[in-house]
A = this chain, B = another copy of it.
Amino acid sequence: MDADATGLFAPDRVAVVGATEREGAIGRAIVTNLAEFDGDVVAVNPKRETVLGHDCYPDLQAVPGDVDLAVVVVPPPVAIETVRDAGEAGVRNVVVITAGFSETGGEGAQRERELAAVADDYGLNLVGPNSLGVLSTPTGMNATFGPSNALPGNLSFMSQSGAFITAVLDWANDQDIGFKDVVSLGNKAVLDETDFLEFWRDDPETNVVLGYLEGIEDGREFIDTAREVTQDTPAVVVKSGRTEAGAQAASSHTGTIAGSEAAYEAGFEQAGVVRAENVQELFDFARALDGLPMPDSESVAVVTNAGGPGVMATDAVGDSRLSMAAFEDETLDALQESMPDEANVYNPVDAIGDADLERFETAMDIVLADDNVGCAIVVSAPTAILDYEELAAAVADCQREYEKPVVTCLMGGERTRHAEAVLRDAGIPNYFDPARAVGSLDALAVQRAVEAREYEAPAEFDVDRERAGEILEDAAARDARRLGVEAMDLLDAYGIPTPDGDVVDDPREAERIAGTIDGDVVMKIVSPDILHKSDIGGVKVGVSTNDVRDAYEDLVARARNYQPDATILGVQVQELVDVDAGTETILGMNRDPQFGPLVLFGLGGIFVEVLEDTSVRVAPVSEREADEMVDELDSAPLLRGARGRPPADEDAVTDAVQRLSQLVTDFPAILELDVNPLLATPDGVQALDVRLTIDPGEL
């Protein structure tokens, strides 16, 4: 989006191209929805002089004066011409409502490419096509054809589903939830989620960005932008099509070819995005992030007049990232002094059923003053002596005074209405279910951790990039796509340790190499055509230098015997490594269509294949991220010496992860790569085997 993009949400003048008075037409609905717009509205329609009282012109170029935003509702072929007109007429922002583009398949996709090309020629900020439109509450501009307008607020919302916007607005109006900007992204021919994220970063009226996304256009760009944005402005996203069935459905909905769920999970994590699993979480999290102050810690105090619901709140804290605050002695003393004997002064504080407003206030005051308390939940069952509206006002006061986030469960039905309005004005969400109240504090904890992050540039290791390039070029020259141990040097060039040895195509050379290695060696036939070397006797373990030449001839003979036309690249002569001295891990990589190279790490064998205990990040991977990749494995204790195992040199592990990340980032020609096993010992790591697939076209 260019610098003029403010014209998209805050234009002075909007032109509706395809405006009409025909009942039921989208061109009428948009003009009607623009009735409350502060700015000027003009219509474009060659067949009319006015539309619903607005001046009408035959085309955009005929409109006198500047137009900041053109909303296009003409049929698909005409839409492209209209966008060109807009460019010619100096209009900077265009929303294409018209459907019938890539979502309809082949021909439509071609039409969409043309549309994007025109927008590109003129440098237009183009939303859509196949969009419900855009709206922005400060100017009262509702340039959508949906049935509802938005209330004013500080949430800005982008959605890949127009229908979801209509549903959300109707619901949000009922819940008194307001928005700053809302945009229906449509097919994202030009502007996508990353553009809007960037735009709202600089928007002082946007407190929280919300997104409903079915896919991300450019994963790496999204991560880089979102990282900056989310340091100040929380972004909460529902990514639809998470499951296999969902992804299939999403693909037939918007034609989105989504990358793997693992990629999205890693990508959102790395981007600092707060991920919501469902619609309820999307808005619970957004409201909490919009309305509540940030806590200083994850320690929660619970104050209640009801034991059972207090226990439920405590359970919910136990399920979350939060923990129950341990009160300072003074807090306990003060509570003891002011609460009745039957009360429980330990957290959760149970002020018992006859607690009146004053007792609640006293308890809240005492616990919120405690430095060990980062945030609080006030849980109440309805009683005869407690007025919820008064309690709500007291909670709001407390939150203001202590600047700590407080959420409430004033439980009940009708009697909570007025209290909820008081709480809402103070930005405090009230839920019947303590688990939801805790969930909203949990979202603050996630955002707090994001804001505390210090993003470091990925390390740039001193590597032999030239040599790595040559190895890949050589492979490409002999038309090889799948490489094995003959490519161990690639790892070596990037500083990932490999055992001593080499691949040779001559028995004397094999003997010479063996002579440079201490002790006996391992010898393996190297052939892209022989995948299971062991099965054909293609591996010899513990060969002494004297026997190396014979062993060489024997390995080649076996391979020829097994498959006479196999390409034999030679024999690998390698130092004999004691695998029992360490833990076998896997370091892998593949390419995601949206996010690019994904790096995977896990313990080998059953941990990857049976237990699926792996961690994934989008490359390039920073040191912090590499550390996290190890930390988040369930099997991490095994790397760290659990049950008497040799503890691995973890720095060497994370170093290898980062070096691999650098390698696959440097060479887009590497499509897939697996180091399996990467042996992790107390003294470092060693890559014992490697397989990779390359695309010579990318070299």
Residue A662, interface by CB 8 Å? no
A315 touches B241 (CB 8 A): yes
Contact yes or no, B436 A245, CB < 8 A: no
Assess whether B104 is in contact with A244, with CB atoms less than 8 Å apart: no
- B164 near A240: Cβ-Cβ < 8 Å: no
Identify the closest chain B residue to A29 (Cβ): B384
- Which partner residue on chain B sits nearest A439 by CB separation? B278
Are the CB atoms of B353 and A314 closer together than 8 Å? Answer: no
Assess whether A52 is interfacial by the CB under 8 Å rule.
Answer: no
Please tell me if the beta carbons of B307 and A381 are within 8 angstroms of each other in the complex. Answer: no
Q: 1/0 per position for A20-41, CB-CB distance to B under 8 A?
A: 0000100001000000000000
A253 smallest CB distance to B (angstroms)? 4
A243–B308 alpha-carbon span in the complex (Å): 14
Is A260 positioned at the interface, with any CB of B under 8 Å from its CB?
Answer: no
A573 to chain B, nearest CB (A): 27
Q: Which of B162, B212, B308 contacts A212 (CB 8 A)?
A: B308
Which residue from B167, B250, B606, B634 sits with its C-beta under 8 Å from A642?
B606
- A243-B315, A306-B164 given as contacts; is B382 within 8 A of A174 (CB)? no
Best-surrounded residue of A173, A244, A308 (most CB of chain B within 10 A):
A308
How far, in whole Å, are A204 and B658 apart by their CA atoms in the complex?
66
A279–B164 CB distance below 8 A = no
Contact call A167/B309, Cβ cutoff below 8 A? yes
Are B415 and A643 within 8 A (Cβ)? Answer: no
In the complex, the answer to whether B605 meets A643 with C-beta atoms within 8 Å is: yes
Contact A147 B243 (CB under 8 A): no
CB distance from A481 to the nearest CB of B (A): 27
CB <8 Å contact, A171 and B318? no
Q: Does A334 contact B (CB under 8 A)?
A: no
Known: A161-B307, A164-B381, A214-B308. 17 other contacts (CB 8 A): A147-B383, A163-B305, A163-B309, A166-B382, A166-B383, A167-B306, A170-B413, A170-B415, A174-B412, A174-B413, A212-B308, A244-B318, A253-B311, A277-B435, A279-B312, A279-B435, A609-B642
Interface size on A, residues (CB 8 A): 87
Question: What is the distance, in angstroms, from A473's C-beta to the closest C-beta of chain B?
Answer: 37
Report the bound CA distance from A450 to B268 in whole Å: 38
A318 and B170 form a contact (CB under 8 A): no
Report yes or no: B171 in contact with A413, Cβ–Cβ below 8 A: yes
Smallest CB gap from A385: residue in B:
B24
| A residues with CB within 8 A of B | 24, 29, 104, 147-148, 159-164, 166-168, 170-175, 212, 214, 238, 240-246, 248-250, 252-254, 277-280, 305-312, 314-319, 323-324, 342, 344, 346, 348, 350, 353, 381-384, 411-415, 432-436, 605-606, 609-611, 634-635, 637-638, 642-643
Q: Which of B254, B383, B433 contacts A307 (CB 8 A)?
A: B254
With a cutoff of 8 Å between Cβ atoms, the chain B residues found around residue A435 in the complex are 277-280
A322 closest partner in B (C-beta): B245
Interface centre among A245, A249, A414 (most CB of B within 10 A): A249
Is B245 a contact of A314 with CB atoms below 8 Å?
yes
Question: Known: A163-B307, A311-B240. Is A173-B382 also a contact (CB below 8 A)?
Answer: no
Asked if residues B159 and A606 are in contact (CB atoms below 8 Å), the reply is: no
Measured between alpha carbons, how far is A238 from B312 in the docked complex, in Å? Answer: 9
**6 closest Cβ pairs, A-B complex:** A161-B308, A174-B413, A243-B318, A163-B306, A167-B411, A246-B315
Q: Complex: how many Å from CA A164 to CA B175?
A: 25
Could you write out 11 A-B pairs with CB less than 8 Å apart? A162-B353, A167-B412, A170-B412, A172-B413, A238-B312, A242-B318, A246-B311, A252-B344, A252-B346, A279-B434, A279-B435
- Does B315 lie within 8 Å of A240, measured CB to CB? yes
- Which of A212, A309, A383 has the most chain B CB within a 10 Å cutoff? A309
- Give the complex CA separation of A345 and B172 in angstroms: 31
Bound-state Cα–Cα, A672 to B294, Å:
48
CB-nearest residue of chain B relative to A637? B610
List the B residue with the shortest CB-CB distance to A432: B171
Residue of B nearest to A174 (CB): B413
Contacts of A278 in B (CB 8 A): 312, 316, 433-436
Q: Is the CB of B171 within 8 A of A253?
A: no
A411 to B610, CA, bound (A): 41
Minimum CB distance partner of A132 in chain B: B353
Chain B residues in 8 Å Cβ range of A634:
610-611
- Determine whether the beta carbon of B384 is less than 8 Å from that of A147: yes
Q: Is the CB of A643 within 8 A of B610?
A: yes
Query: Is A245 touching B279 in the complex (CB atoms < 8 A)?
Result: no
Given contacts A350-B253, A611-B611, contact A309 B164 (CB under 8 A): yes
Chain B residues with CB below 8 A from A244, complex form: 318
Complex: how many Å from CA A346 to CA B253?
11
Question: Which residue of B is nearest A353, CB measured?
Answer: B163
- Say yes or no: A433-B318 contact (C-beta < 8 A), given A164-B306, A311-B214, A611-B634: no
**Complex: chain B residue closest to A613, CB-CB:** B611
Given A163-B353, A610-B635, A611-B634, the answer on whether A253 and B308 have CB atoms closer than 8 Å is yes
Contact of A382 among B167, B350, B637 (CB under 8 A): B167
Question: Which of B212, B214, B317 meets A245, CB within 8 Å?
Answer: B317
CA distance A273 to B104 in the complex (A): 47
